[in-house]
Protein backbone atom coordinates (compact mmCIF):
# COMPACT_ATOMS: atom_id res chain seq x y z
CA UNK A 1 0.00 0.00 0.00
CA UNK A 2 2.78 2.41 0.80
CA UNK A 3 4.29 1.79 -2.65
CA UNK A 4 0.98 2.65 -4.37
CA UNK A 5 0.71 5.88 -2.38
CA UNK A 6 4.32 6.87 -3.03
CA UNK A 7 5.38 9.81 -5.17
CA UNK A 8 7.32 7.67 -7.61
CA UNK A 9 4.38 5.35 -8.27
CA UNK A 10 1.95 8.25 -8.74
CA UNK A 11 4.35 9.94 -11.17
CA UNK A 12 4.68 6.71 -13.16
CA UNK A 13 0.88 6.34 -13.32
CA UNK A 14 0.56 9.90 -14.63
CA UNK A 15 3.26 9.27 -17.22
CA UNK A 16 1.56 6.07 -18.41
CA UNK A 17 -1.79 7.86 -18.65
CA UNK A 18 -0.20 10.63 -20.75
CA UNK A 19 1.43 8.06 -23.06
CA UNK A 20 -1.93 6.33 -23.57
CA UNK A 21 -3.50 9.70 -24.41
CA UNK A 22 -0.67 10.44 -26.88
CA UNK A 23 -1.28 7.07 -28.48
CA UNK A 24 -4.87 8.07 -29.22
CA UNK A 25 -3.68 11.25 -30.96
CA UNK A 26 -0.69 9.87 -32.90
CA UNK A 27 -0.12 8.38 -36.35
CA UNK A 28 2.73 6.28 -37.71
CA UNK A 29 3.53 7.69 -41.14
CA UNK A 30 5.74 6.16 -43.82
CA UNK A 31 6.02 6.12 -47.60
CA UNK A 32 7.17 9.71 -48.01
CA UNK A 33 10.38 10.66 -49.79
CA UNK A 34 13.57 10.53 -47.78
CA UNK A 35 14.74 13.97 -46.83
CA UNK A 36 11.19 15.23 -46.37
CA UNK A 37 11.26 18.01 -43.80
CA UNK A 38 9.18 17.64 -40.64
CA UNK A 39 7.56 20.99 -41.45
CA UNK A 40 6.19 19.56 -44.70
CA UNK A 41 4.50 16.72 -42.80
CA UNK A 42 3.22 19.25 -40.26
CA UNK A 43 1.63 21.33 -43.04
CA UNK A 44 0.06 18.25 -44.62
CA UNK A 45 -1.49 16.93 -41.40
CA UNK A 46 -2.64 20.38 -40.31
CA UNK A 47 -5.57 19.81 -42.70
CA UNK A 48 -6.93 17.29 -40.18
CA UNK A 49 -6.40 19.39 -37.05
CA UNK A 50 -3.70 21.18 -35.07
CA UNK A 51 -0.41 19.24 -34.99
CA UNK A 52 1.34 18.93 -31.63
CA UNK A 53 4.60 17.30 -32.75
CA UNK A 54 6.32 15.56 -35.64
CA UNK A 55 9.08 13.13 -34.70
CA UNK A 56 11.16 11.86 -37.61
CA UNK A 57 13.26 8.69 -37.77
CA UNK A 58 16.75 10.18 -37.40
CA UNK A 59 18.73 7.31 -38.90
CA UNK A 60 17.00 6.63 -42.20
CA UNK A 61 14.23 9.21 -42.40
CA UNK A 62 11.89 6.40 -43.45
CA UNK A 63 9.06 7.09 -41.01
CA UNK A 64 7.60 9.67 -38.66
CA UNK A 65 5.22 9.84 -35.73
CA UNK A 66 2.75 12.70 -36.11
CA UNK A 67 0.89 13.68 -32.94
CA UNK A 68 -2.23 15.77 -33.39
CA UNK A 69 -3.66 17.83 -30.55
CA UNK A 70 -6.83 15.74 -30.32
CA UNK A 71 -8.03 12.23 -31.13
CA UNK A 72 -10.68 13.56 -33.52
CA UNK A 73 -7.93 14.94 -35.76
CA UNK A 74 -6.29 11.53 -35.84
CA UNK A 75 -9.60 9.93 -36.82
CA UNK A 76 -10.04 12.44 -39.65
CA UNK A 77 -6.53 11.66 -40.93
CA UNK A 78 -7.19 7.93 -40.83
Superfamily for domain range 7-77: RRM (RNA recognition motif) domain (3.30.70.330)
User: Which of 40, 38, 78 lies closest to 57 in space, CA to CA?
Assistant: 38
* Tens digit of pLDDT at every position of the chain (78 positions): 777 777 888 899 999 998 898 999 999 999 999 889 999 999 999 999 999 999 998 787 789 999 999 999 999 999
Give the Cα separation of 23 and 34 in Å (integer): 25
Bridge partners of residue 53, in order along the sequence = 67
Q: Where are the domains positioned within the chain?
A: 7-77
Instruction: Tell me how far apart the alpha carbons of residues 70 and 11 are, in angstroms, rounded to a whole number.
Output: 23
> 53: how many CB neighbours lie within 10 A of its CB?
15
Amino acid sequence: RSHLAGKRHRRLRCLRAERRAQEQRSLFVSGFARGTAPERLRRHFRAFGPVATVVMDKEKGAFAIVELRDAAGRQRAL
